[in-house]
């Protein structure tokens, strides 16, 4: 391998090079994405094609979305810690676990899994995380690890919204020993996880048709976001399973009091959830 090839394979990805260049981050777009991921998630992934055409990459090398969601996890971690953790040390531990374990650690683990799983089952894989695709295909025909991370952190937004924010606000109600409390608490988990898989599906779905016709309102269906992937409907398969588990849990299990995020921080709570 030549020295130029070695430098190419060892090159630091743009995402990491921009981690501390705050002035170059597009926080306005990140806020727009967060809003539309909740109300109209398909619009977010329609922009993939345009980004691919201008940057020649599906991956957005902009940490703004990651920073914003990490900040939100930090704030909600502080709220959970103040409410349930024993003292300042416990509160700090909760906030750090929320950000670095629940959010970043989980997203990195899932994006790595999806990179190999989606690449193997639904399309081609690359040689290494940032190398050329196996089998001689062009770079445009391979899944990028950075894009898997993009999808993962965006799919985490409904998890944060339902399970870290709404659950915290509604915990005094849904933690009660009533059937209706159990219903709303468990339904919140069903919605969060189902939304997670829907956004993941939209992120990898190669059949998102884009409004890029020659005249307004014209749809060119031969342009797709990820044309090298197929059978992405498999990613929606967990949702029926979740629905069945939700129905069973209404009579057997209380998600709010047994799966609350604060319970996964490795601390002894000052009071039960």
pLDDT digits (tens, 9 = 90+) for 228-244: 677 788 899 999 999 99
User: Strand pairing of 220-224 and 209-210?
Assistant: antiparallel
In angstroms, the CA 240 to CA 245 distance is 9
Measure the N-to-C terminal CA separation of the chain; round to a whole number of Å.
58
pLDDT above 90 as % of the chain: 53
Rg of the chain, C-alpha, whole Å: 21
Residues 6+ apart with CB under 8 A from 144: 57, 58, 59, 126, 130
Closest CA to 163 of 253, 241, 264, 93: 264
Closest CA to 151 of 197, 212, 218, 92: 197
C-alpha distances in Å from residue 133, one per residue of 17, 90, 242: 23, 46, 34
Q: How confident is the model at residue 16 (pLDDT cuts 50, 70, 90)?
A: low
Q: Tell me, what's the pLDDT at 44?
A: 86
Asked if pLDDT for residue 49 goes beyond 90, the answer is no
**Taking all residues of the chain, what is their mean pLDDT, rounded to a whole number?**
81
E strands, the chain, where? 209-210, 220-224
Q: pLDDT per residue over 178-226, tens digit each?
A: 999 999 999 999 999 999 999 999 988 855 444 444 444 444 444 455 6
In angstroms, the CA 224 to CA 48 distance is 9
Q: How confident is the model at residue 58 (pLDDT cuts 50, 70, 90)?
A: confident
């Amino acid at each position: 391998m030549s020295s130029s090839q070695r430098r190419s394979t060892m090159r630091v990805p743009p995402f990491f090079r921009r981690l501390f260049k705050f002035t170059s981050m597009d926080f306005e777009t990140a806020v727009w994405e967060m809003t539309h991921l909740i109300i109209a998630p398909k619009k977010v992934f329609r922009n993939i094609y345009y980004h691919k055409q201008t940057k020649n990459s599906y991956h957005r090398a902009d940490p703004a979305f990651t920073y914003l969601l990490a900040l939100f996890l930090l704030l909600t971690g502080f709220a959970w810690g103040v409410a349930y953790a024993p003292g300042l040390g416990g509160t700090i531990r909760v906030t750090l676990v929320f950000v670095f374990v629940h959010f970043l650690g989980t997203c990195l683990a899932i994006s790595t899994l999806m990179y190999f799983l989606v690449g193997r089952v639904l399309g081609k894989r690359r040689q290494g995380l940032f190398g050329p695709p196996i089998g001689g295909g062009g770079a445009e025909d391979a899944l990028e690890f950075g894009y898997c991370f993009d999808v993962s952190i965006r799919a985490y937004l409904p998890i944060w919204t339902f399970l870290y924010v709404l659950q915290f606000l509604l915990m005094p109600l849904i933690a009660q020993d009533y059937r209706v409390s159990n219903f709303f608490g468990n339904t919140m988990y069903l919605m969060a996880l189902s939304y997670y898989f829907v956004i993941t599906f939209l992120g990898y779905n190669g059949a998102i048709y884009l409004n890029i016709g020659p005249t307004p309102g014209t749809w060119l269906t031969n342009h797709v976001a990820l044309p090298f992937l197929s059978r992405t409907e498999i990613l929606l398969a967990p949702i029926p399973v979740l629905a069945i588990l939700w129905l069973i849990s209404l009579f057997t299990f209380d998600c709010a009091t047994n799966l609350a995020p604060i319970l996964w921080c490795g601390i002894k709570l000052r009071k039960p959830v």
